[in-house]
Structure 1
Amino acid sequence: MSEKAEPESALGEYGPGEGTGAHGAGPGPADGVRTPGAPPQESPPQEPPRRAPGEGRRRSWTRVGFSLGLGATVAWLAVQTVLRVSSMLTLLLLSAFIAIGLEPVVGWFTRRGLRRGWAVAIVLTGFVLLLGGFLALVIPPVAKEITALIDAVPGWLQQLHDHQSAIGRLEDRYHVVEKAKQQIGSGGAATGVAGGVLGAGQLVLSTLTSTAIVITVTLYCMAALPVIKQFCYRFVAASRRERVEGVAEEIMSRIGKFMLGNLITSAIAGAATFGWCVATGVPYAAALGIFTALMDLIPIVGSTLAGIVVSLVALSVSLPIAIATALFYIFFRVAEDYLIVPRAMKFAVDVHPLVTILAVLVGGALLGIIGALVAIPAAVAVGLLLDEYVFPKKQGS
């Protein structure tokens, strides 16, 4: 009896028709019954709970609105920060431009065995000597003219009471002294003079501070220029780093050559001004020559402004000399644009004259004199970048 009960108990464990698998041979996974020793089966995925209509959309619009508001706030703060430090950024740009422009001179010394620190010190010493020589030439004439003006004031006051003199006739007609007394009594003139003196003092202090910042930053940039370049190159992917380094080095080389070419043309302009002033008897020939050389560093408008100033100084000699000086500068400007500059810049940059004019106008409108000074090198850099990355190249080139 016990032997016959075993099959029934085994069959009864699974039940009729169960545990036979696909062929009735035993339990299988298709039967939904766990086989002893087999891994547990995964439960079927459950459907996610349904959201109310419009719930996900409300959350999405809230997130988008918050992101837009935060982005607009960050952008506004960034623009305000840039505007506040725009003057400082301009000085830093000028310092970097001067450092890159003087790099060929520093490199010339380093290639001859000098350490970079000594090369930078030599270049800085030369700059300080040049600036000191300019001040030594300019300060004595200016002090002399101020002294002469102060000494002439008593004579002008005496002529005010002389009805036969030109100043006296002007006083009789316009009553300048009486109006000046009224202004002084009301406090308007005193306030204007005080404001003018305060403004002049602030301008002098700002100029000295800016000059010190530019010299200091330029010195550090010149000394650490190789390290700065290598640090900037590390932000470029290794696969493109060699190409980017080649383009950057070419841009800096062009800027340095432009700076040297500009210095050559400026030196020629200063020497021509000095020679003309000596030949025609215009005073302060050396100071005017250095002034013209410095102004000629500014493309297009620099030499024109210098010519106007020198022509006004020539009026102290005579009107014909002033007219002749103005004609001399017109002739020199034509010669500089068509003879001197093309030959001096032939080895440096190749920029179309229209691009030059537009770059100087835009740079001057954005950053003033500094923008006009760096406009042409910036145009050269933009041209190189366009040729390298934007304009399609011919096959095989």
Structure 2
Amino acid sequence: MASTRYVAEGGRRHSTWQDGLGRAGSRCAQILLLLTLITVAVYGLLQVRLLVIPVMIALILAAAIGPFVNLLRRKGVPGALATGIAFLGLLVLLGIVTTVIVLAVRSEWDELVAAATQGLDELEAFLLTGPLPVTQEQLMEGRQAVIDFATSQQVRSGALTGLSAATEFIAGTTLMIVVLFFFLKDGAKIWNFLLRPFKGRREAKLRRAGRRTLEVLGGYVRGTAIIALVDATAIGIALLILQVPLAIPLAIIVFLGAFIPLVGATVAGVLAALVALVANGPVVALIVTIIVIAVNQLEGDLLQPIVMGKSLELHALVILFALTAGTILAGIIGAVLAVPLAAVAWAILQVWTAEDPRVEDLNPDLPPAGSEPT
């Protein structure tokens, strides 16, 4: 056969795949096959994203809440009751946050509309009398363009798309809640069932990979929540002092935005600055911008290294690539999930290749962590 053809050269026999070009071709074929499998897998998962995304979110939340459930069990609380306490506590917390946002928006809506009208008039006057070469005709054209876009067919079709997305959101949220309950209640049984086909060394590695997955996900969620709480508290207090409308909802948006690394808190801070610009004028908006920048610097230089520790051992460039890929594949929810999933993938790879110093028990021939090569 052509693939195993041998050529006689100086009394020796050589395979056509053993020279440099053959080895390169074999490696390229392997890479292409791997990329094809990954592409098909990603495409298949996207087709059932209404199932995959709720399961991923439930797994991340279970990893974060799991230690609390285990603590209750060690205190003598029955497993079902401990799961119910943690589960209901999470639902109550989400309900409180939603109620606070709705009540704050409802109570300050009239004030915001009045302040926005006055702020837009001040902004228009600043643009006409300021250093920028803007004329009244250009402002009128811009206003008309906004009105035309708001009443266009594109916006109406987008509203229908939004209705469909809302229906999917409700269905996905319901599924996530159910899956989360069973992950908290029977997570160990589910994992043991999945590992039944594996024995010996491979089973040990898979169990270690599972523990590292829970450690990375739990540490990431808890650390990010602490950092987000600090960001939201600092910016919320500043907004209250400056009397910016919707200070509490904006602080909650900052908290949620912090779960998108690198860009989430910044975008939420920009939104707060825009509200301050419209409602309070450019001076207050500039102060809010300075506060947002200072808080982001505090987060990046102090909070991230101290709070997160080694739960997210990824370079900033890898995080940026993961955010971009997640956003392209699944939008905002993809951006939220991309970084912890990338961290989990890296942790599992370290366990599987014995590069994690905490897997020496699985590799008796591995030298001690930190030892010099001989």
Q: Structure 1 length normalisation: TM-score?
A: 0.65
Contiguous gaps of at least 5 residues in structure 2: 1-36, 116-135, 356-362, 369-374
Q: 1:146 Cα shift?
A: 5.9
Percent identity, aligned pairs only, is 24
Aligned to 1:282: 244
Question: Do the aligned partners of residues 385 and 118 (structure 1) sit closer, same or farther apart at CA in structure 2, a change above 3 Å counting?
Answer: same
Cα distance in structure 1, aligned partners of 2:102 and 2:53: 28
Cα distance in structure 2, aligned partners of 1:79 and 1:262: 27
1:250-329 equivalence runs, <5 A? 250-315=212-277, 316-329=279-292
Partner of residue 139 from structure 1, selected from 91, 102, 109: 102
For residue 280 of structure 2, give the secondary structure of its aligned residue in structure 1.
Answer: coil
8 Å CA contact 2:105, 2:249 repeated in 1: no
Per-residue deviation, residues 13-72 of structure 1 (Å, max 9, x unmatched): xxxxxxxxxxxxxxxxxxxxxxxxxxxxxxxxxxxxxxxxxxxxxxxxxxxxxxxxxxxx
8 Å CA contact 1:134, 1:287 repeated in 2: no
Q: 1:337 Cα shift?
A: 0.8
For residue 351 of structure 1, give the secondary structure of its aligned residue in structure 2.
Answer: coil
Question: Do the aligned partners of residues 151 and 297 (structure 1) sit closer, same or farther apart at CA in structure 2, a change above 3 Å counting?
Answer: closer
Using CA pairs under 8 Å that are at least 6 residues apart, name the structure with larger relative contact order, 1 or 2.
2
User: Is 1:373 the counterpart of 2:344 in the alignment?
Assistant: no
Q: 1:85 Cα shift?
A: 1.5
User: Is 1:384 the counterpart of 2:359 in the alignment?
Assistant: no
Equivalent AA in structure 2 for residue 361 of structure 1: T
Cα distance in structure 1, aligned partners of 2:291 and 2:40: 52
Equivalent AA in structure 2 for residue 229 of structure 1: W
Contiguous gaps of at least 5 residues in structure 1: 1-74, 153-168
1:1-397 equivalence runs, <5 A? 82-143=45-106, 195=157, 197-315=159-277, 316-346=279-309, 348-390=311-353, 396-397=367-368
Q: 1:205 Cα shift?
A: 2.8
Q: 1:361 Cα shift?
A: 3.0
Question: Do the aligned partners of residues 149 and 324 (structure 1) sit closer, same or farther apart at CA in structure 2, a change above 3 Å counting?
Answer: closer
Q: 1:197 Cα shift?
A: 4.6
Aligned to 1:38: none
Deviates more, 1:290-299 or 1:361-370: 361-370
8 Å CA contact 1:102, 1:259 repeated in 2: no
Equivalent AA in structure 2 for residue 384 of structure 1: A
Aligned to 1:164: none
Per-residue deviation, residues 204-232 of structure 1 (Å, max 9, x unmatched): 33332322222222222222211111111
Per-residue deviation, residues 250-280 of structure 1 (Å, max 9, x unmatched): 2212221221111111111111122111221
Per-residue deviation, residues 339-397 of structure 1 (Å, max 9, x unmatched): 01110012634333333333333333333333333333333333333333336798533
Equivalent AA in structure 1 for residue 327 of structure 2: G
8 Å CA contact 2:50, 2:172 repeated in 1: no
Q: 1:239 Cα shift?
A: 4.4
Aligned to 2:133: none
Cα distance in structure 2, aligned partners of 1:311 and 1:353: 26
8 Å CA contact 1:90, 1:367 repeated in 2: no
Aligned to 2:17: none
Per-residue deviation, residues 57-108 of structure 1 (Å, max 9, x unmatched): xxxxxxxxxxxxxxxxxx9998875443234322222222222232122222
Cα distance in structure 2, aligned partners of 1:147 and 1:321: 20
Question: Do the aligned partners of residues 290 and 235 (structure 1) sit closer, same or farther apart at CA in structure 2, a change above 3 Å counting?
Answer: same
Cα distance in structure 1, aligned partners of 2:95 and 2:327: 28
Aligned length: 304
8 Å CA contact 2:322, 2:338 repeated in 1: yes
Q: 1:151 Cα shift?
A: 9.6
Per-residue deviation, residues 187-218 of structure 1 (Å, max 9, x unmatched): x9696675455344333333323222222222
Equivalent AA in structure 1 for residue 267 of structure 2: L
* Cα RMSD after superposing both structures: 3.8
Equivalent AA in structure 2 for residue 215 of structure 1: I
Cα distance in structure 2, aligned partners of 1:336 and 1:85: 36
Question: Do the aligned partners of residues 239 and 223 (structure 1) sit closer, same or farther apart at CA in structure 2, a change above 3 Å counting?
Answer: same
For residue 102 of structure 1, give the secondary structure of its aligned residue in structure 2.
Answer: helix
Equivalent AA in structure 2 for residue 111 of structure 1: R
Cα distance in structure 1, aligned partners of 2:157 and 2:234: 40
Equivalent AA in structure 1 for residue 85 of structure 2: I
Cα distance in structure 1, aligned partners of 2:86 and 2:77: 12
Equivalent AA in structure 2 for residue 214 of structure 1: M
Cα distance in structure 2, aligned partners of 1:345 and 1:320: 35
Cα distance in structure 2, aligned partners of 1:380 and 1:123: 26
